[in-house]
Amino acid sequence: MPQSRRQFFAGLAVSLTLPFSRSLLPTTAQARSRGKSRAQLPKWAYGKNSVADDAMLMFRGNGAHTFYGTGPIPETAPAIAWKFRTARVESRLRGERIVWAGTGWTGTAVKLGNYVFVGSVGGYVYAFDAHGGRLIWKLKGRGMFKGSLCLYENRLYIGNTDNLLRCIDAETGRMLWRHDTGNDLDSSPCVINDRLYVAGENGYVRCLHPRTGELIWKRFVGGIGPGTKLGSNGSETSPAIADGELYTATYDGYLFCIDTEDGKVKWKANTYDDTDASAVIWDDYVYACAEELASYVYCFERKTGKELWRYAGNTKGYWSTPAVAKGRLHVGGQDGAMHTIDAKSGAPLWTFKTGDAIWSSPAVIDGKVLFGSRDHHFYCLDAASGKLVWKVKLDGRIISSPCIIDGKIWIGTATGYFYCLTTEGRATDQTQKP
């Protein structure tokens, strides 16, 4: 049976109060870079944005959430080039032992030059040699790194369940500054026009200076009132940004359009239930999808927030952020299916059923849809027809989203391993050392 997001976060909220989270408290030495080498990153060449066409610098690659990576995507299943077992932490919930490991629901790796960086719910941010899997450095936090990293001017930004947004030197793993948001940070930050934006479970969207962490503005969007559940509050979405407008959604079922300059709300639209999947901007439209109490994919008019259509092909809710390419919208459902919809009309085009819920946000590259499922498989489908091209079985549930550059795929599981899949090279297996 697929686990509902409310069950998942109810357990997570309780576990975060238990001893394992306290055991992650770092000493001064532990908080520094743990590796014995440094990444030799190229000089920053992407201007004032974490946006590139040859690298993956943040969740979904650009502010609109419409860059998915680069090919070529193989026609046959890739092999495991390398895998790394990340740190594991334990807690007890209602007398039962729980192990937390691997990449979290909102966690996607970023890649620049010869290096790939990823956060882990085991409490570390890791830097790897992207092609060989050698650990370059690791940084320990005081809780889970569940979200995606953002890379800007060779600095990394990431939130944590210890309430802190961290800025890290991507070459050395040294923390440069931190900003306390007051509650969990599942939201993945992004940098657009030299401003860093992030949402959070305390109900605020923030705009910060990326070099100093100084607060420029913050806007309360709610989602923390009576009846909200611990571990799933405020805004967990990663902000979508285009044309001076920021879109974020909340626990209490609203999608906000906010002016990026001053943080003023331009409009808000009702999604009718907790909306954790991030918004996607395409043409004159913005898309959002809610969870099981209002299980729809919504299309809104960007100018006014008017609802244009809703898709009702899945009754169990969405945790996957949609992908839009060539007029098609692809999104995974709690029902275990990948749904493809006409992006302008909302008409259903095809569905593909996997063996369990899909929390992973799909990537669309070379006419193929790539995503992970909780059934332990990573899938590649034909985007036009929905037919299976290939699938690869990994060691456990896949709830995070892929980072794909030059046809190589970096993806983690919720049971501890972080993988590189490719048609090149031999498999190597590395074990996390305490």
Residues 38-52 have pLDDT tens digits of 999 999 999 999 999
Residue 125 has pLDDT above 60, yes or no: yes
Residue 77 CB neighbour total at 10 angstroms: 14
Tens of pLDDT along 265-282? 999 999 999 999 999 999
The structure tokens 């209490």 sit at 252
The structure tokens 């969740």 sit at 59
Q: How confident is the model at residue 1, as a pLDDT?
A: 46
Q: Which carries the bigger pLDDT value, residue 367 or residue 186?
A: 367
Structural domain that includes position 373: 5-431
**What does the pLDDT average to over 387-396?**
98
Q: Give the CA radius of gyration of the chain.
A: 20
Instruction: Write b or e for each residue in 396-431: b if 16 or more Cβ atoms lie within 10 A of its Cβ, otherwise e.
Output: bbbbbbbbbbebbbbbbbbbbbbbbbbeeeeeeebe
Residue 310 has pLDDT above 90, yes or no: yes
Q: How confident is the model at residue 187, as a pLDDT?
A: 93
Three-state DSSP class for 216? strand
Q: How confident is the model at residue 30, as a pLDDT?
A: 34
Q: Measured between alpha carbons, how far is 317 from 296 in angstroms, rounded to an integer? A: 7
Average per-residue pLDDT for the chain: 91
**What does the pLDDT average to over 363-378?**
98
Q: How confident is the model at residue 14, as a pLDDT?
A: 45
Q: How confident is the model at residue 96, as a pLDDT?
A: 85
Q: How confident is the model at residue 423, as a pLDDT?
A: 86
Split at pLDDT 50, 70, 90, the class of 225 is confident
Split at pLDDT 50, 70, 90, the class of 32 is very low
**What does the pLDDT average to over 358-370?**
98
**What does the pLDDT average to over 298-318?**
98
Q: Measured between alpha carbons, how far is 382 from 349 in angstroms, rounded to an integer? A: 13
Burial (0-12, 13-18, 19+ Cβ within 10 Å), 215: exposed
In Å, what is the CA distance from 17 to each residue of 22, 159, 202, 314?
8, 18, 17, 34
Tens of pLDDT along 226-247? 777 777 899 999 999 999 999 9
- Name the residue type at position 4: S
**What does the pLDDT average to over 397-421?**
97
**What does the pLDDT average to over 312-326?**
98
Q: How confident is the model at residue 7, as a pLDDT?
A: 52
**What does the pLDDT average to over 372-382?**
98
The dihedrals phi and psi of 293, each to the nearest 5 degrees, come to -80, -15
In Å, what is the CA distance from 121 to each residue of 50, 87, 104, 147?
24, 8, 6, 9
The dihedrals phi and psi of 228, each to the nearest 5 degrees, come to -75, 155
Q: How confident is the model at residue 425, as a pLDDT?
A: 60
**What does the pLDDT average to over 277-297?**
97
Tell me the percentage of the chain whose pLDDT exceeds 90: 83
Q: How confident is the model at residue 27, as a pLDDT?
A: 29
Q: How confident is the model at residue 376, as a pLDDT?
A: 98
Tell me the percentage of the chain whose pLDDT exceeds 70: 89
C-alpha closest to that of 210 among 241, 161, 165, 248: 165
Find the distance separating the first CA and the last CA of the chain, reported in whole Å: 34
**What does the pLDDT average to over 77-95?**
89
Looking up residue 69, the CATH number of its domain turns out to be 2.130.10.10
Q: Which carries the bigger pLDDT value, residue 20 or residue 260?
A: 260
Instruction: Give the number of domains in the chain.
Output: 1
Q: How confident is the model at residue 12, as a pLDDT?
A: 52
pTM of structure: 0.92
Burial (0-12, 13-18, 19+ Cβ within 10 Å), 329: buried
Split at pLDDT 50, 70, 90, the class of 432 is low
**What does the pLDDT average to over 71-90?**
95
**What does the pLDDT average to over 401-414?**
97
Q: How confident is the model at residue 94, as a pLDDT?
A: 72
Q: How confident is the model at residue 17, as a pLDDT?
A: 39
Q: Measured between alpha carbons, how far is 224 from 362 in angstroms, rounded to an integer? A: 29
Structure tokens at 309: 């259509």
Residue 372 has pLDDT above 50, yes or no: yes
**What does the pLDDT average to over 137-158?**
96
Q: How confident is the model at residue 99, as a pLDDT?
A: 84
